[in-house]
Amino acid sequence: MKFTIDKGDFLKVLQRVQGIVEKRNTMPILANVLLEAAGGRVNIMATDLEVFIKDSSKGDISEDGSTTVNARKLFEIVKELPSDRVDLNAGKDDKITIKAGKARFNIMGLPSRDFPVFPSIDESNLKPMESEKFKEMIDKTAFAVSTDETRYNINGFLLEKDISKIRMVATDGHRLALIERPDLKTISGEKEGVLLPRKGVMEIRRLLDEKEGEFHLGITEKSAVMKKDSTVISVRLLEGEFPDYKKVIPKDNEKDVIADRAELLASLKRVSILSSDKIKGVKFNFSPKKLTVSSSSPDIGEATEEIDIEYGEEEIEIAFNARYFIDMLEATDEDKVRISLKDPLSPGIVRPESSEDYTYIIMPMRL
């Protein structure tokens, strides 16, 4: 294999696939990227066996072929190369030579036949989707996804399709975020609800940041595929059953509080500085027109702050992990939020004041 490529183009695709490369070296070849020169293009692929990414860039191919090479090293080398043109040459024994200007690198690769095969993609399955909408749905739920490896069934997002809506749900067993958006251009697919792993979704999210506009999304039996220009990401769906989220959405939370989002966010950030422990337990005391948030840490001291709210019911005292509130308040853009409560041991609901399509449920802490 032999090709010459623009340094900037090469660097861009190499950077894009870096995030996928397996960091734990369980299988040495997963630390590599697959390079393939064919049909006037240089194709690049990386995988950790959960997420597959491929991309391509134009290049001057003088000899077709393929090889695999350490992703990190290749990226670092290309980044530091002195000239705009990069020559790459791989022999039959996967010895790779990279030349640019007067610099020359020889590195050993591994044969491309040992590299995992990219899952086949049915292009007809891919349907257009608005980038901004999908990004918003990710951003308003991602913080609630569990990162606890022992709970693999909630290590991702539930993506569901209703008649005219798509819905995304994430939970870590203590809080749950749910967002619904009208489905203008129907995502297709056989399965009604699928579980998208966190890492794969965050990779898609990263790519959407880089490239605006529309992209294509498709769900198959085993994977979710997203395509944007020359980049294709295939994410293996999580197996396992997402908990029945409908059951935990309280129906009888009748104590409604309206609070200013920015104000509540700022005071929670202040007050939680003194909550003991890494778990940011903060006491919320709701009384007519007034919310008092307070925290205390036996070794350090205590903090308290009052916030004006709209509330007319009886006094209620309830403790929450402030972190859980902060995450949601930071992700929301509306000026006011509605907090609906029942009692100190039942889950509370937080929603933007004027809409029902973004729901956040927080389980309190025992006082």
Partner 1 sequence: MIVLHMDMNAFFASVEQRCNPALRGKPIAVIGSSKRTVVTTASYEARKFGVKTGMNKWEAKKKCPSLIFVIGDNRKYIDTSVRVLNILKDFSPKVEAYSIDEAFVDITGTDLLFGPPEEVARRIKERIREDTGLTCSIGIAPNKLLAKLASDMKKPDGLVIIREEDVSKLLNDLPVGELWGIGPRLTEHLSGLNVRTCGQLAAFPASVLRERFGIIGERLKLMGQGIYDSPIVPIGEEEAAKSVGHSTTLPKDIADKEVLKRYLLKLSEMVGARSRAHGLKGRKVSLTIRYGDFFTFTRQKGLEQPTNDTRVIYSLATDILGSIRLRSAVRLVGVTISDIAGGCRQLPLFEGERKRERLVNAVDLVNRHFGDFTLTWAALFEDDDPGPGVISPAWRPEGVKRVNVR
| Separation between Cα atoms, residue 30 and residue 22, nearest integer Å | 6
Our finding on whether 361 is near partner 1 (CB under 8 A) is yes
Our finding on whether 277 is near partner 1 (CB under 8 A) is yes
| Separation between Cα atoms, residue 132 and residue 192, nearest integer Å | 23
| Separation between Cα atoms, residue 264 and residue 262, nearest integer Å | 6
Our finding on whether 173 is near partner 1 (CB under 8 A) is yes
Q: Which is nearer to partner 1, 174 or 270 (CB)?
A: 174
Kindly report the number of other CB atoms within 10 A of residue 165's CB atom: 12
Q: SS3 of 284, please?
A: strand
- Least distance from C-beta 296 to partner 1, angstroms? 11
Given 175, 261, 283, 338, the residue binding partner 1 (CB under 8 A): 175
**Token reading at 331:** 């992700």
- Least distance from C-beta 248 to partner 1, angstroms? 5
- Contact between 171 and 243 under an 8 Å Cβ cutoff? The reply is yes
Q: SS3 of 131, please?
A: helix
Q: Which is nearer to partner 1, 242 or 358 (CB)?
A: 242
| HSE, side-chain direction, 13 A CA sphere, residue 44 | 27
Give the residue from 157, 169, 202, 164 showing the smallest Cα distance to 183: 164
- Least distance from C-beta 138 to partner 1, angstroms? 19
Q: Which is nearer to partner 1, 140 or 228 (CB)?
A: 140
**Token reading at 109:** 């690769």
Binding window for partner 1 (CB under 8 A); candidates: 30-38, 98-106, 255-263, 277-285: 277-285
**CA dihedral sign, ordered 338, 341, 344, 350:** negative
Our finding on whether 172 is near partner 1 (CB under 8 A) is yes
Q: Which is nearer to partner 1, 148 or 192 (CB)?
A: 148
Q: Which is nearer to partner 1, 190 or 277 (CB)?
A: 277
Site for partner 1 in 311-330 (CB under 8 A): 321
Surface-to-core class of residue 235, CB atoms within 10 Å of its CB (0-12 exposed, 13-18 middle, 19+ buried): buried
Binding window for partner 1 (CB under 8 A); candidates: 41-49, 130-138, 189-197, 278-286: 278-286
Kindly report the number of other CB atoms within 10 A of residue 212's CB atom: 11
| Separation between Cα atoms, residue 41 and residue 166, nearest integer Å | 36
Our finding on whether 279 is near partner 1 (CB under 8 A) is yes
Given 276, 285, 287, 292, the residue binding partner 1 (CB under 8 A): 276
Q: Which is nearer to partner 1, 189 or 347 (CB)?
A: 347
Q: Which is nearer to partner 1, 109 or 156 (CB)?
A: 156
| Separation between Cα atoms, residue 290 and residue 284, nearest integer Å | 10
Our finding on whether 366 is near partner 1 (CB under 8 A) is yes
Our finding on whether 150 is near partner 1 (CB under 8 A) is yes
Our finding on whether 148 is near partner 1 (CB under 8 A) is yes
Our finding on whether 147 is near partner 1 (CB under 8 A) is yes
**Cα-based angle 170, 174, 180 (whole degrees, multiple of 5):** 30
- Least distance from C-beta 27 to partner 1, angstroms? 14
- Least distance from C-beta 104 to partner 1, angstroms? 39
Provide DSSP, 72-107.
HHHHHHHHH-SSSEEEEEE-TT-EEEEEETTEEEEE
Our finding on whether 363 is near partner 1 (CB under 8 A) is yes
Q: Which is nearer to partner 1, 146 or 294 (CB)?
A: 146
Our finding on whether 347 is near partner 1 (CB under 8 A) is yes
- Least distance from C-beta 249 to partner 1, angstroms? 10
**Token reading at 118:** 């990219």
Q: SS3 of 211, please?
A: coil
Q: Which is nearer to partner 1, 91 or 173 (CB)?
A: 173
State the residues that interact with partner 1 by CB under 8 A.
Answer: 146-150, 171-176, 243, 247-248, 276-279, 281, 321, 345, 347, 361, 363-366
